[in-house]
Amino acid sequence: MATISINGTTKQKARLDIDGFSYIKDRITNEKTYWRCINYSSQNCHSRLHTCIITNNIMKPATELSCKTDGTAIELRKFDEQIVYRALNT
């Protein structure tokens, strides 16, 4: 299942979590949103995928990932987001 976080990175860029991997928004055209692997710089992973700008459906599936990631990183990030949300709204 894919989830898009609006302020998913430290620079407040949108982040897409899908199948245990994270992608950040690279660019937008009239029809597509281009996403690149969150480990693009740190692990030189060039995986990309494209989504429809209107429906957010995946138009082109992700290319092969060359980075190594574990599922706990995404779960920890979601937990941290919940803590921040609670701190700001209580």
8-59: per-residue pLDDT in tens?
677 778 888 887 788 888 899 999 999 998 888 778 888 889 999 888 888 8
Look up the CATH number of domain 3-88. Answer: 2.20.25.240
Instruction: Number of helices (H) and strands (E) in the chain: give both, helices first.
Output: 1, 6
The contacts found for 27-35 with CB under 8 angstroms, 24 or more apart, are: 28/53, 29/53, 32/59
Res 70: pLDDT: 66
| φ and ψ of 83, to 5 deg | -65, -45
In the chain, domain spans: 3-88
Supply the pTM of this predicted model: 0.70
Of the segments 17-26, 48-57, 60-69, 70-79, which one has the largest average pLDDT value? 48-57
Token reading at 65: 């990932």
